[in-house]
Amino acid sequence: MLQVIDLFFDYGSTRILEGIGARIEGGRVLSVVGPNGAGKTTLLKCIVRILKLARGSILIEDRDATCISRRELAKYLGYVPQNMPAKIPMTVFEMVLTGRKPYLSWRPSEQDLWITANILHEMDIQDLAMRDVEQLSGGQAQKVLLARALAQEPRYLLLDEPTSNLDLRHQLEVLDMIATLVKNKGIGAMMAMHDLNLAARFSDTILMLKEGKVFSIGTPSEVITPKNIREVYGVEVAVRRDNGYPHIQALHCVIDHSDSD
């Protein structure tokens, strides 16, 4: 279990995150939702130590994460950034192989190559293996980034808006893939999500942030309510239930809401 306890983060003198608490469990998906600027991405980056937290602690299997070296941490946490950075001069195979970095010294072993190849197969992107990363479409790139994180053989996956640049089909494909991985490998996943309906459908728990604080946490049905969304997003919505998942339909903005942006 990965626990986030009373986490604070400041950017300069601006407080971005304030007293966040959350837990990611193996085999389960936690989605972080909230309007732009609520601190979703920042929270993920604090956990993988791209950003240094101001206060609070992160426990991984009851070990204090700050005592774990960066390299060791990369064996626990796989991070999937939102975008493929432009112009990476690598093939897909090389890119996914870099996920083995926490394990290898200088020369990748047969096992490293083997794990890389198997992941490409599992995700059905083996045909892309020798292609240059920069030639990939958005959906393919997202899968390659996910594949790289899986090559780390992590216990937890942290995904920053994994569906943000994808068309409808690829959104479902990628989320299905994540759901399957979580179920089959017992990985714990934390996703920053914009789309509340997808979040509701693919998550066990939803953490709703407002201005850097936890506004609500619980099952999708508990969190995705007209009242919460009005307060956090400043939008009036209707929530239906759809195959057991809450499904929202945006109606209109709430006029005269101080927090709308």
Partner 1 sequence: MNANSEILCDSYKKQNWIKKLFLYFVILLLIVAMAVGISIGASGLGPWDVLSSLIKDTGRNHSIVWMLRLPRVIMAAIVGFGLGLAGAVFQAILRNPLASPFTLGIGSGAGFGAVTVILFFGGGFQTYLIASGAFLFSLISAFLILVVAKMKRASSETMILTGIAQMFLFSSLTSLFQYMGTMEQIQEVVFWFFGSLSKAGWREIGLASAMVLIPFPMLLRHAWDFNLLSAGDESALALGVDVSRLRMSSVVAASLMTAGCICFTGVIGFVGLVSPHITRMVIGSDHRFLLPTSGLVGAVVVVAADILGRTLWAPHVIPIGIVTSFIGVPFFFYLLVKRSKEYW
| Footprint on this chain of partner 1 (rule: CB under 8 A) | 45, 48-50, 69-74, 77-79, 81, 85, 87-91, 93-95, 97-99, 101-102, 104, 106, 110, 113-114, 116-118, 120-121, 126, 129-130, 132, 134, 152
Name the minimum Å distance from CB 174 to partner 1. 18
Distances (CA, A) of 163 to 60, 212, 215: 26, 22, 23
Name the minimum Å distance from CB 143 to partner 1. 15
**Tokens standing for residue 1:** 């279990």
Which residue, 69 or 258, is less far from partner 1 as judged by CB? 69
Name the minimum Å distance from CB 11 to partner 1. 12
**Per-residue H/E/C for 141-179:** HHHHHHHHHHHCCCCEEEEECCCCCCCHHHHHHHHHHHH
Give Cβ neighbours of residue 85 (< 8 Å, ≥ 6 apart).
none
**Tokens standing for residue 196:** 């509340």
Name the minimum Å distance from CB 78 to partner 1. 8
Distances (CA, A) of 258 to 8, 197, 233, 243: 24, 25, 11, 35
Name the minimum Å distance from CB 106 to partner 1. 7
Which residue, 111 or 260, is less far from partner 1 as judged by CB? 111
Name the minimum Å distance from CB 74 to partner 1. 4
Which residue, 101 or 210, is less far from partner 1 as judged by CB? 101
Residues facing 217 on adjacent strands? 207
Q: Which of 102, 92, 159, 76 is nearest to 124 (CA)?
A: 92
Which residue, 16 or 229, is less far from partner 1 as judged by CB? 16
**Tokens standing for residue 104:** 């290898």
Residue by residue, DSSP assigns 5-16 as: EEEEEEETTEEE
Name the minimum Å distance from CB 220 to partner 1. 28
**Distance between start and end Cα atoms, the chain:** 35
Which residue, 143 or 201, is less far from partner 1 as judged by CB? 143
Which residue, 7 or 224, is less far from partner 1 as judged by CB? 7
Which residue, 113 or 251, is less far from partner 1 as judged by CB? 113
